[in-house]
């Protein structure tokens, strides 16, 4: 039987790795999106753990919906990156402001 | 030490190592592969938490679809790595500091709050049986049916917006314009010339 606090500490370390990743790779928008995926993963961990803790399946239902929304979000984000690269020939975050429609 | 704890320790170490790999590796293809590995290891951990359906979904949907999309985009773009890594070393101490502050605070909080709750954790949640997939489907199709349909609409929105963003119209393609075809009158197409009747 694994203590619940182990899982919670694991998810909090994962979350802070992702936060540091967004902070460090601020020029590279693809790594930023990947760090965002890591953040969502740690949040999903928390939902499943607390769902087990509270003896409620709604935590897992919520994870299901988060996975759906994140899939749509990453598809749109990658499409925006493709458009950005096609127009500006770079994936620098600072160029997004100059995309203009 | 029981076998569950050993599996947990191995795979949590793998999750953390490959998550660090995602952040620090300088080739975007390698960091996408690291992200795939993170998802695989956390699927094993979700299996330990008795979320079998979600762990399979994580592998099928995430590793199978979303990460392939990531790899596809990363390989399609010709990224200037040295420009993309600009400022990485400069902000490294701040990043490490941020990591230790946030993870330390969260870990201390969680450890102090849930230290003695390891016997409270439930092994499996039973609604209509012991089958995790059956229970999830039961809840999803009765109580959360509207949310389920909204999720379907969100996926449709994702498809439409991704296509409209990336689709470019080819100039050489010949296509009809129905509104011009319908609004054409006899005068646009037909000109009547008067024949003078003379012959040369």
Distance to chain B for A99, nearest Cα, Å: 12
pLDDT exceeding 90 applies to what percent of chain B? 38
Q: Please report the pLDDT score of residue B116 as a whole number.
A: 67
Q: What is the pLDDT of residue B34?
A: 94
pLDDT of residue A18: 94
Q: How would residue B8 be classed by pLDDT, with cut points 50, 70 and 90? A: very high
Least confident of A61-65, B13-17, B126-130: B126-130
* Contacts B80 to A, Cβ<8 Å: 90
Domains of chain A: 4-98 (1.10.287.3510)
First to last CA, chain A: 54
Q: How many other CB atoms are there within 10 angstroms of residue B192's CB atom?
A: 5
Query: Is the model's pLDDT at B119 over the cut of 60?
Result: no
Q: What is the ipTM of this complex?
A: 0.91
The domain spans of chain B are 8-80, 124-167
Residue of B nearest to A25 (CA): B88
pLDDT tens digits, one per residue of B74-100 = 888 877 777 777 777 888 888 899 999
- B158 CA to centre of own chain: 11
Q: How far apart are the first and last CA of chain B?
A: 114
Q: Give CA separation, B159 vs A37, A78, B156, in Å.
A: 19, 12, 5
The segment with the largest mean pLDDT, out of B125-134, B146-155, B178-187, is: B146-155
Q: Do A67 and B85 touch (CB under 8 A)?
A: no
For residues A43-61, average pLDDT: 89
CA–CA separation, B67 vs B4, rounded Å?
29
| Tokens read off for B106 | 């969260």
Q: Does domain B8-80 have CATH number 1.10.10.10?
A: no
Cβ contacts of B13 on chain A, cutoff 8 Å: none
Q: How many CA atoms lie within 13 A of B189 on its CB side?
A: 7
Reported as a pLDDT band with limits 50, 70 and 90, residue A91 is: confident
> Residue B169: left (phi > 0), alpha (psi -120 to 50), or beta?
beta
Q: Do A12 and B107 touch (CB under 8 A)?
A: yes
């Amino acid at each position: 039987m694994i203590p619940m606090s182990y899982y919670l500490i694991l998810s909090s370390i994962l979350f802070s790795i992702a936060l540091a990743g967004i902070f460090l790779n601020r020029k590279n928008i693809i790594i930023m999106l990947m760090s965002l995926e890591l953040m969502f993963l740690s949040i999903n961990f928390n939902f499943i753990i607390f769902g087990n803790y509270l003896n409620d399946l709604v935590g897992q239902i919520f994870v299901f919906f988060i996975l759906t929304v994140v899939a749509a979000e990453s598809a749109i984000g990658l499409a925006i990156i493709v458009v950005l690269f096609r127009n500006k020939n770079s994936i620098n975050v600072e160029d997004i402001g100059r995309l203009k429609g | 030490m029981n076998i569950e704890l050993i599996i947990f320790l191995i795979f949590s170490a793998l999750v953390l190592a490959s998550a660090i790999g995602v952040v620090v590796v300088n080739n975007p293809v390698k960091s996408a592969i690291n992200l795939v590995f993170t998802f695989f290891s956390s699927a094993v951990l979700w299996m330990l938490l008795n979320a079998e359906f979600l762990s399979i979904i994580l592998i099928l949907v995430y590793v199978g679809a979303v990460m392939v999309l990531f790899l596809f985009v990363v390989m399609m773009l010709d990224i200037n790595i040295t420009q993309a890594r600009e400022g990485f070393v400069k902000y490294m101490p701040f990043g490490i500091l941020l990591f230790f502050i946030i993870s330390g605070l969260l870990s201390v909080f969680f450890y102090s709050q849930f230290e003695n709750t390891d016997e409270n954790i439930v092994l499996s949640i039973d609604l209509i049986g012991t089958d995790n997939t059956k229970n999830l489907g039961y809840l999803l199709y009765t109580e959360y049916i509207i949310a389920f349909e909204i999720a379907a609409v969100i996926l449709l929105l994702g498809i439409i917006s991704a296509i409209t963003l990336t689709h470019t119209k080819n100039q050489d393609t010949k296509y009809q314009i129905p509104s011009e075809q319908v609004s054409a009158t006899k005068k646009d197409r037909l000109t009547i010339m008067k024949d003078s009747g003379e012959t040369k």
